[in-house]
């Protein structure tokens, strides 16, 4: 190419063009030729070579090369073709002008550095895509490490670009990083904390993609969908997205439900509040009714045999309720609940299984069920729990028990509300009168009595008193 340009320059001089003008025209022509060659090289790289490489990759049985193709690694490599043209023919065009040649060389070097960073970034994205296809690596927070490597590469690449632009050695800029340490730490604080937190999260397996985590302080309650260098994204159950700083998962507390999914059991912990006034010893009518319940027959046979044997040994007067052992309706109901749950096909038999009484409260005697289902899926779990309590609540009257007073108050008030809204207010008073005399019951009944004239309304009493005082004043 140098000989061609030299011949072109001589031809211009032979035609009477000034030597300086001929040199400038020759330089311009060489530059246009370089740009044309660079464009042709770029076209060949993209339209010919890249298509051929893509066809070969699609015909192979490997999947990693597909990831590199999809993430644009080969596309970004094709951008090297124009730079190679400038490197090969740049001396032929700009050899006579050292200043322009130095500027073009610096431009090409910066271009090559940027293309190298783009290729490295695409390659890391391809590695991340390959890793996410693996079942084992999919749950690891690899994205944070990839972003950290990219950040380091970009910082190093930026230093090399600055060294080319300012014509300084890279060591000069690396030595200046020491003086800027405080500033860099302040700028990249979240990135540094996130990188360290990502290492701790990965090593300790605190959070994985797909984990259900609960962090009330951040308003997060859902599945982890992304773990990056600085943030963790959680899709909540209402389909909103909550973003949490990665380092917050190290410095603050949160709940991870992964253990529940891995164990294969989901806990049911719920209480039924029994009215303590309905708890009593079992009589013969109760025992006869309970013997018809298949689940209670083994329990009754064993318990009644033990009771008869121990009472015979004591020799006490069993006509007195306090003497000897007896079955109670609450104890028998607890045994029925236990037998029912042990037969239930959706209850996990190898995990904690408790049916227990808790401390009595103002709401009654809590009978707590503490078991685990063998299906951790939310909708199915809720269905199992609802079916269990539907059955148990329906069986409570069979044992001479009823729910606590608070539940009966709620039922009575609900009946009053329905009657009042249907214009049958006189029935509402009856509902509340049958219920225990809470403040609401007494207040509403008093209003009903006032409306019927049985009790004087306060406003009427005040009016009557004023009339009397005026009458006295006139006399």
Q: Among 27, 35, 174, 177, which Cα is nearest to 107's?
A: 35
Q: For residue 411, what pLDDT is reported?
A: 46
pLDDT at 208: 84
Q: Which residues pair with 269 in a beta bridge?
A: 370
Question: How far is residue 42's CA from residue 40's CA, in Å, rounded to a whole number?
Answer: 5
What pLDDT does residue 137 have?
A: 65
**Could you tell me how many residues make up the chain?**
475
CB 29 within 8 A of CB 8: yes
Least Cα distance to 110 among 150, 169, 159 occurs for: 159
State residue 451's pLDDT score.
46
Which residues make beta-bridge pairs with 267? 372
Q: Which strand ranges, in their side-by-side order, compose the sheet holding 266-274? A: 266-274, 365-373, 354-357
Which pLDDT does position 183 carry in this prediction?
76
The 3-state DSSP composition of the chain as helix, strand, coil percent (nearest 5) reads: 65, 10, 25
Helix (H) or strand (E) holding 220: strand 220-227
- Whole-number pLDDT of residue 189: 79
Give the contacts of 8 (CB within 8 A, at least 6 positions apart).
26, 29
> φ and ψ at 281, to 5 degrees?
-70, 150
Contacts of 204 (CB under 8 A, 6+ apart): none
Pairing between strand 241-245 and 231-236?
antiparallel
How many other C-beta atoms can be found within 10 angstroms of the C-beta atom of residue 155?
A: 12
The 10 Å Cβ neighbour count of residue 458 is 9
pLDDT tens track, the chain, 475 positions: 556 656 655 665 656 666 667 666 766 777 777 788 888 888 888 888 888 888 888 888 777 778 888 888 888 888 888 888 877 776 666 666 677 777 777 888 888 899 999 999 999 988 888 887 776 666 666 777 788 788 889 888 988 888 888 888 888 777 777 667 777 777 777 777 877 887 787 777 788 888 899 999 989 999 999 888 778 899 999 999 999 988 888 888 899 998 888 888 999 999 999 999 999 999 889 999 999 999 999 999 999 998 888 888 877 666 666 777 889 999 999 999 999 999 999 999 999 999 999 999 999 999 999 999 999 998 999 999 999 999 999 999 999 999 987 655 544 444 444 444 444 443 444 444 444 444 444 444 444 444 444 444 444 544 555 555 444 444 3
pLDDT at residue 426, rounded to an integer: 39
The per-residue pLDDT for 435 is 44
pLDDT computed for residue 251 by the predictor: 84
Residue 449 has φ and ψ, to the nearest 5°, of -65, -35
């Amino acid at each position: 190419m140098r000989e061609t340009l030299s011949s072109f320059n001589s031809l211009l001089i032979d035609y009477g063009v000034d030597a300086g003008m001929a040199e400038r025209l020759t330089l311009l022509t060489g530059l246009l030729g370089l740009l044309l060659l660079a464009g042709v090289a770029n076209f060949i790289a993209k339209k010919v070579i890249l298509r051929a490489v893509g066809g070969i990759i699609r015909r192979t049985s490997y999947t990693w090369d597909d990831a590199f193709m999809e993430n644009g690694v080969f596309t970004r490599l094709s951008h090297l073709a124009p730079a190679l043209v400038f490197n090969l023919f740049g001396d032929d065009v700009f050899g006579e002008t050292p200043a322009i040649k130095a500027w073009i060389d610096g431009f090409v070097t910066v271009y090559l550095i940027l293309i190298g960073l783009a290729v490295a970034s695409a390659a890391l994205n391809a590695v991340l895509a390959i890793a996410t296809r693996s079942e084992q690596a999919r749950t690891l927070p690899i994205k944070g490490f990839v972003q950290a490597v990219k950040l380091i590469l970009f910082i190093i690449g930026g230093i090399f670009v600055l060294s080319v632009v300012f014509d300084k050695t890279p060591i000069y800029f690396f030595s200046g990083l020491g003086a800027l340490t405080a500033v860099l730490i302040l700028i990249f604080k979240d990135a540094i904390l996130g990188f360290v937190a990502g290492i701790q999260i990965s090593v300790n397996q605190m959070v994985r993609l797909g984990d259900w985590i609960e962090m009330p302080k951040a308003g997060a309650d859902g599945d982890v969908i992304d773990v990056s260098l600085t943030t963790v994204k959680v899709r909540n159950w209402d389909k909103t997205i909550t973003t949490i700083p990665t380092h917050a998962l190290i410095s603050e507390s949160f709940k991870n439900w992964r253990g529940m999914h891995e164990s294969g059991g989901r806990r049911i912990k719920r209480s039924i509040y029994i009215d303590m006034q309905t708890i009593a010893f079992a009589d013969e009518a109760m025992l006869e009714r309970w013997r018809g319940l298949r689940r209670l027959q083994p329990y009754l046979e064993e318990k009644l045999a033990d009771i008869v044997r121990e009472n015979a040994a004591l020799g006490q007067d069993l006509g007195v309720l306090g003497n000897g052992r007896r079955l109670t309706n609450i104890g028998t109901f607890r045994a029925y609940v236990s037998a029912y749950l042990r037969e239930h096909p959706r209850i996990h038999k190898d995990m904690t299984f408790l049916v227990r009484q808790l401390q009595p409260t103002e709401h009654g005697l809590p009978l707590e069920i503490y078991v685990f289902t063998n299906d951790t899926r939310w909708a199915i779990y809720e269905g199992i729990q609802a079916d269990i309590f539907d059955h148990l609540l329906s069986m409570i009257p069979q044992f001479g028990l009823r729910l606590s007073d608070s539940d009966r108050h709620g039922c009575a008030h609900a009946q009053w509300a329905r009657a009042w809204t249907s214009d049958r207010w006189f029935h509402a008073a009856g509902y509340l009168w049958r219920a225990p005399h809470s403040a609401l019951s007494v207040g509403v009944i008093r209003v009903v009595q006032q409306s019927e004239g049985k009790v004087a309304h306060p406003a009427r009493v005040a009016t009557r008193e004023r009339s009397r005082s005026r009458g006295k004043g006139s006399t």
